A and B are shown apart, each in its own frame.
Chain A
Amino acid sequence: EVQLVESGGGLVQPGGSLRLSCAASGFTFSSYWMSWVRQAPGKGLDWVANIKQDGTEKYYVDSVKGRFTISRDNAKNSLYLQMNSLRAEDTAVYYCARWVTPFDYWGQGVLVTVSS
């Protein structure tokens, strides 16, 4: 059974940093593109970033370029999102998802709140 479990969310002040993790199991993690998708409270889904199987290609939505970094550790079956210079508008539930065009499996999500 495919499982994706996010962790690392919480409350952070504007300008602060946070690192999200996603532990994957039930499939060969190193064979798949992976992604982060977020959902602001009461709003729709927004794609954040994708990363290739070996980490050599990474893509970001314009609003997070230069502030967020997606990475992975295939030996640990883990996906990460380093978020720096956080803004109030980054407040959202962040989902880890497997990207096979479409996103076929999603984690349960982790809440990130940016507020003073």
Chain B
Amino acid sequence: QSVLTQPPSVSGAPGQRVTISCTGSSSNIGAAYDVHWYQQLPGTAPKFLISGNNNRPSGVPDRFSGFKSGTSASLAITGLQAEDEADYYCQSYDSSLSGVLFGGGTKLTVL
């Protein structure tokens, strides 16, 4: 069981907006450590999607955005497209574990 909790799955129709939550605690997200997001398409390596300050690497569309509040963070995807169907992971740092953490991952299905 991951210290960062994500819903196992979310779904949405093309064009819709979906959000994926990432819930942590006072020793990670709540301790002001940044939350980063990754996309993993089926059968491929993870890809860096968005950083804690909402910076996106070149090539990542602005349909993807990140938010953080208290001990939680969220990834929002607007204008959902079939190519967005993938697993999404949040990642932060935990001071009590002195290590990097990943959420359990969320499978996004585009209906």
Q: Which residues of A pack against B, CB within 8 Å?
A: 35, 37, 44-47, 50, 59-62, 95, 101-109
Return A22 CB to nearest CB of chain B, in Å.
12
Nearest first, the 5 closest Cβ-Cβ pairs linking A and B are A102-B36, A47-B100, A44-B105, A45-B102, A106-B45
A44-B2, A44-B104, A47-B101 known; A104+B48 contact, CB < 8 A: yes
The smallest C-beta distance from A105 to any residue of chain B, in angstroms, reads: 7
Partner of A59, one of B47, B89, B91, B98: B98
B103 at the interface (CB under 8 A from A): yes
Question: Is B103's CB under 8 angstroms from A44's CB?
Answer: yes
Contacts of A105 in B (CB 8 A): 48
Closest to B102 in A: A45
> Could you tell me if B46 and A45 are in contact, using CB atoms closer than 8 angstroms?
yes
State whether the Cβ of B99 lies closer than 8 Å to any Cβ in chain A.
yes
Knowing A101-B34, A102-B51, A103-B38 are in contact, say whether A59-B102 is a contact too (CB < 8 A): no
Q: Return chain B residues, CB-CB under 8 Å to A45.
A: 38, 40, 46, 89, 91, 102, 105
- For chain B, residues 34 to 64, give those with C-beta under 8 angstroms from any C-beta of chain A: 34, 36, 38, 40, 44-48, 51-52, 57
Determine how close the nearest CB of chain A comes to the CB of B35; give it in whole angstroms: 9
* Minimum Cβ distance to chain B for residue A36 (Å): 11
CB distance from A47 to the nearest CB of B (A): 4
B2 / chain A contacts, CB cutoff of 8 Å: 44
Q: Please tell me if the beta carbons of A95 and B105 are within 8 angstroms of each other in the complex.
A: no
Bound together, the chains give a CA A50 to CA B100 distance in angstroms of: 9
A109 to B45 alpha-carbon distance, docked (Å): 7
Which residue of chain B has the shortest Cβ distance to A45 in the bound complex? B102
Q: Which B residues are in CB contact (< 8 Å) with A47?
A: 99-102
Identify 12 new A-B residue pairs, CB closer than 8 A, beyond the known A59-B98, A106-B45, A106-B46. A37-B102, A44-B89, A44-B104, A45-B102, A50-B100, A62-B97, A95-B46, A101-B93, A102-B34, A102-B36, A102-B48, A104-B57
Point out the residues of chain B lying under 8 angstroms from A61, CB to CB: 99
B37's closest neighbor in chain A, by CB? A102
Is the pair B45, A107 in contact by a Cβ cutoff of 8 Å?
A: yes
